[in-house]
Amino acid sequence: MSGAGSSSGAGAGWLPLIQCPDCKIRQIRQFESTTEKHPGWILYKCMNHKVGKQSCNFWHWEASYIDYLKKHGHLRGESVDSKIVEMKKKKNTTEVDPEDMMKMLLLLKSLPGDVADLVAVMKIVVVLLFTILFVLVLILVRM
């Protein structure tokens, strides 16, 4: 997709804009399609996409970008896709700004994973400390 047919700065803006994994130079940016075939669709692409000899190939429609972010560990938690669909359905009936709600949901969904990761690491540390303590006691007893 070229720069024509899209406008910058569109959409909810709640997804992280990562460094381009292809060229590793530019940050991914968000655009809104202005093409007749996909009016209003949100896409994410590198500014080096199809630019010059050292162009990169990174660009995704919003749903594909979400999948990419989840697959590569940039998003965590329950299915973000279902939350997006749910928020779009409620968009006209809620007084809460959907963008703010999505940010809160992402933060809340990432907390249990972070806590679970921390607990798992702490369990390993405790086992290692007990092992070291046991070895030290054995050494002291033999002295």
Pick the range with the lowest mean pLDDT from 17-21, 36-40, 68-72, 106-110: 106-110
**What is the number of domains present in the chain?**
1
Angle between helix 80-90 and helix 62-71 axes, rounded to 10 deg: 150
46 token code pair: 């590198």
2-27 pLDDT per residue, tens: 445 555 554 456 788 999 888 888 88
- Domain assignment present for residue 122? The answer is no
Does position 129 have pLDDT exceeding 90, yes or no?
A: yes
Is the distance from CB of 3 to CB of 47 less than 8 angstroms?
no
- Domain assignment present for residue 45? The answer is yes
Residue 112 belongs to what domain range? 6-117
- Domain assignment present for residue 66? The answer is yes
- Domain assignment present for residue 130? The answer is no
**pLDDT, position 3:** 44
Q: Which pTM does this prediction carry?
A: 0.49
- Domain assignment present for residue 143? The answer is no
- Domain assignment present for residue 80? The answer is yes
Length of the chain: 143
Report the alpha-carbon distance of residue 107 to residue 103 in Å, rounded: 6
- Domain assignment present for residue 76? The answer is yes
- Domain assignment present for residue 1? The answer is no
